[in-house]
Structure 1
Amino acid sequence: MAEELDRHLGRIRECLPHLVIETVRENRDGLTNDVLIVNEQFVFRFPKNETWARELLANEIKVIELARDYLDIQIPHIECKAADLLAYRFIAGGPLQRNDILALGEDEQDAIADQLATYLRQLHAVPLGEVGRHGIAPSDTNRGRAVWLELFEDAKRELSPSLMSHAREWVEQHFAPLLADEGFMNYEPRLINGEPTPYHVLFDRQARRVSGVIDFGTAGVGDPAADFAVVIYYYGESFLRRMAKFYPEIKDGLDRARFWAGTLELQWALSGVRGRSAAWSWFTVHLGGARDVLPVGVEWEKA
């Protein structure tokens, strides 16, 4: 670990030779990159391997360089880039949690919904001709009909024996629209984020505003409903509905987003079964469950 840190610090000095390193904060939580935050001023991201992680980073750099000309919201400003490194100015803020939103008044919730809706609307509107000219790849989130059908069969074969009857019924109900309509998941491709999760959306708790969006590792050409699905999964459909006031076209992808969001726990549960994790069954308890629950301490007058 110390040897790897020294190697990273060496690359940082090569990247920004005039930078005096005073403090270093490490974050190795991500699946794709190791992150070093230097002097609380610069973020340095290093791919965890020399194959797919580097490919994702290279694509992310292309997305950032193109998208920043179309977005109002703050995204990383690249200071240095290489096959094994991305450096940008630190953007202050913590993860935008659902409880952060629900604890606010109506006007403040609308303001955040406006920020996120405008961000996605502007990103989805980036001309595909420009996306192609920048060599941006398809999003890593893309799934064809055959993949969704395979997920359904895998869930029935590998998960159903361990599910309660109500959960098995929910799986059947959830996939029914896909089975009934071959075009159910058809979409018009757009430039998408792919993963607008709480840990990628930064929130200034003092200003009560979104301060920026980071990590475009899964961004690329894909279904905008994938972005809406992540919003449903982490923030609830009620918040996505609030966003639709500022991005009406969200409604066009709503059913796809609902379907997509409902498959996420199935995918996690299958990963747990295949990895023989003792904790995998925890995910199946919550299949099909609603999550629109206010945090402790919030009065109904604010809800």
Structure 2
Amino acid sequence: MQEPQGQDTRDAGVGVGLRHPHYRDALERQAPIQFVEVHAENFYMDGGPALSVLHAARERFDVSIHATSLGLGAETRVPEPEIRRLARLVEAIDPILVSDHACFSWSGQGAALLHGGDLLPIAHNPRVLEQFSANVDRVQQALGRQLLVENLSAYLSCPDSTMSELEFLHRMCQRTGAGLLLDVNNVFVNAVNSGGADPLADVQGVIAGIDGDLVGEIHLAGSTPQADGDLLIDDHGAEVPEPVWRAYEHLLAALGPKPTLIEWDTNLPSWSTLVGQARLVRQRMGAYRG
């Protein structure tokens, strides 16, 4: 597999997810952020106001493109039209980062190829690793650059797994030259839902096993609080909670600053609240700069 061109991470900047209610504020108000991240599929059109906003945002900020529909872990190949749409957007915007998830989305039904509409968990074993790596490699060759792959918040475990998600992703990166998008909240959600006595300690254990050279971006988010014993859902609908901040500080101490994004997708706050979360990232980064 040919080694792809690496991501242009530049400074370890702070970013926020750019969502429709914040378009005007992002373009007109000053904010202490270096990049914005958008979901690729919202900008696959040939023209229109949304794409115009993205080009205008590109004049003010660096842009990270976060895809959600490649389905890299599917038994089938990633559909060529899906790769072409992403490649066209990447060529038009020239983002600093491009990413998707360690999941599957596509499934064949007869001659039809159907998208599941969600980020579905995969088994972590050598057979899936082979198919996953082949899909990652095809996408990277089409883009002409490195892809970052995000760890998943999963609500069930696959009995066919023979390795941890982290080992799986490390092996995939070694085979393909891809990088990791480390979502700290996803690790925390999985730790809470596993029922361990100390979820933060479990998260710190995962962080201790990460090869920092592979990490190209970090996501921070919050989840809507649930009653004790209920499943915690990674809905990106709240401020970053204190345990995730503490895990992030542990990560900074272990790996140093990396480009970090505040994700907020449901129960969207005001622009000033979102920017306030970005300021908290910058403050923590400052404490760990050499």
More helix by share: 1
Short-chain TM bin: under 0.3
Higher-Rg structure is 1
